[in-house]
Amino acid sequence: MNRIRLHNTVFEGLNNVYVLDGSDDGGDPDELVLVDAGVALPDVREELTAGLADLGHDLADVDLVLLTHWHYDHAGLAGAIRRESGATVHVHEADAPLVSGDGTSRADERDLRREKFLEWGMPEGTRAELVDFLEEHATLGGEPCEVEPFADGDAFEVGGRTLEAVHLPGHAAGLTAFHDPDADEAFVGDAILPKYTPNVGGADVRVDDPLGRYVDSLLRLIDLDPAAAWPGHRDRIDDPAGRAATILRHHVERTGNVVDVLAEAGPSTPWEVSAALFGDLHGIHVLHGPGEAYAHLDHLARAGVVERDGRAYELVADDPDVDALFPDPGIDRVVEWEG
C-alpha cells in the first residue's frame, strides 16, 4: 500500500489517497485500487497523476475507487478518474446520490443548508456570504460520476486484501471505513483524524442527531480496535481506539462548555453559542462553527437538558450531569496530537 498526498487549500489541508496495487499483498499486480480521490482541481489532478507515475502507474490504469464519503476533497476527482480509466467507483448508499450528481439530491442538500443557516440564527449578511462561498467552490465536487452504492458490512476483494465496509456516520451521512481484518488496519477517511476533531453538524446537514450518530460511530471504532488507521488527512494513527475515545471525551467537554454558555448568557441560538465558543470564523469554518454548536445543543435537547424556543435554546435543567449524557468509551488511553 502506498499513499499519495494531494494539496487542498479550501478544506482540511493535504488529502491522502491510498494506492493498493496487489504488489505487496499477494494480489493481482495489474489491479489498481484507490481509496479516495482528492478535490477536483487541475493542479491536484496533476499531483495524482504524478504520484501514480512514481509508482509505475497511470490514471488510466485505475480499476476501482473506494470513496470514504462524498465531500469534495475526498470524491471530487472520482468522475475524472472514471472517465479516464473506466474504473468502478463505490460509495456508501447514503452518499451515492451526491457523488453521482443526482440533481434532486444536490438541490435538496443545498436547500437544507440554507434552512439550517436560518435555523441556527446566522445573520442575513453572513448567510449570503457563506452561500456565495459554497457556490463558488461547488466545482470542486467534480463532474457527475456513475457509482456503485454499497451498504454497511459489504466486502471488497482488492489487491489481495479483503476490505470490509464499516459505516461510521456523523461527519457525513455515508462516511465509511474500509477495514482489513487480516492486516488489522482500516482506512477511516474523516471518521477520526490525528490532529483535529472531525466537524459534526455542519459538515453534512443531512445527518439527523449528528452528535449522537457520531458518538455511536466512535464506539464502533473503539470496539473494532484496529492496530492502525489510515485517515483522510495527515499521518497514520497508531492507536485508533484510543484516539476515538479521546475525541469522545472532547465532545463531553464541549457539551459542558455549551451548558456553561447557556447558563451565563441565557437562551441562545447556535450562532451565538458558536461565537462564544470559537469567536470570529472565516471561510468554511463559518459553516462548521455553528453546525458544531447546533449538534451539541441538539444532543442536549434530546436529553431534556435544554428546550428549543424558535431558534434559541434555553437551559432547563439545574446543574446537569453532562457525563451521564454520553456512554463510557471503556478505555482510558488519551491520544492527542503531538506534532
By the 8 A CB rule, do 18 and 35 touch? yes
pLDDT of residue 23: 64
CA distances from 14 to 73, 201, 206, 231, 287 (A): 9, 22, 25, 11, 20
Mean pLDDT of 184-207: 96
Give pLDDT tens digits for 263-283: 999 999 999 999 999 999 988
Give pLDDT tens digits for 32-72: 999 999 999 999 999 999 999 999 999 999 999 999 999 99
Report whether pLDDT(243) > 60.
Answer: yes
CA atoms of 199 and 34, how far apart (whole Å):
24
How many other CB atoms sit within 10 Å of the CB of residue 125? 8
CA atoms of 300 and 313, how far apart (whole Å):
9
Report whether pLDDT(156) > 90.
Answer: yes
pLDDT of residue 11: 62
Q: What average pLDDT does the structure give for the chain?
A: 94
Fold of 253-325: Arc Repressor Mutant, subunit A (1.10.10)
The CATH H-level (homologous superfamily) assignment of domain 2-102+138-243 is Ribonuclease Z/Hydroxyacylglutathione hydrolase-like (3.60.15.10)
By the 8 A CB rule, do 208 and 170 touch? no
Percentage of the chain beyond pLDDT 70 is: 96
Mean pLDDT of 95-124: 94
Start-to-end Cα distance in the chain: 24
By the 8 A CB rule, do 177 and 218 touch? no
pLDDT of residue 339: 36
Give pLDDT tens digits for 290-337: 999 999 999 999 999 999 999 999 999 999 999 999 999 999 888 876
Residue ranges per structural domain of the chain: 2-102+138-243, 253-325
CA atoms of 73 and 220, how far apart (whole Å):
25
Mean pLDDT of 91-113: 94
pLDDT of residue 333: 86
Tell me which of 20-29, 73-82, 109-118, 159-168 is least confident. 20-29
By the 8 A CB rule, do 330 and 246 touch? no
How, if at all, do strands 185-189 and 176-180 pair?
antiparallel
pLDDT of residue 337: 61
pLDDT of residue 338: 46
Mean pLDDT of 219-238: 97
**pLDDT band at residue 103 under the 50/70/90 scheme:** confident
Q: Cell digits for 152?
A: 454497511
Report whether pLDDT(25) > 90.
Answer: no
CA atoms of 323 and 26, how far apart (whole Å):
47
> Which segments of 13-103 are extended strands (E)?
15-20, 33-35, 64-66, 88-92
| pTM reported for the whole predicted model | 0.95
On the CB side of 294, CA atoms within 13 Å amount to: 27
**pLDDT band at residue 196 under the 50/70/90 scheme:** confident
CA atoms of 62 and 37, how far apart (whole Å):
11
**What are the backbone dihedrals phi and psi of residue 83, each rounded to the nearest 5 degrees, phi first?**
-65, -35
CA atoms of 134 and 154, how far apart (whole Å):
33
Mean pLDDT of 222-247: 97
CA atoms of 145 and 133, how far apart (whole Å):
23
CA atoms of 193 and 230, how far apart (whole Å):
9
CA atoms of 201 and 17, how far apart (whole Å):
25
Tell me which of 136-140, 170-174, 235-239 is least confident. 136-140
> Which segments of 140-256 are extended strands (E)?
148-150, 155-158, 161-167, 176-180, 185-189, 228-231
Q: Cell digits for 34?
A: 484507490
Maximal CA-CA distance, the chain? 63
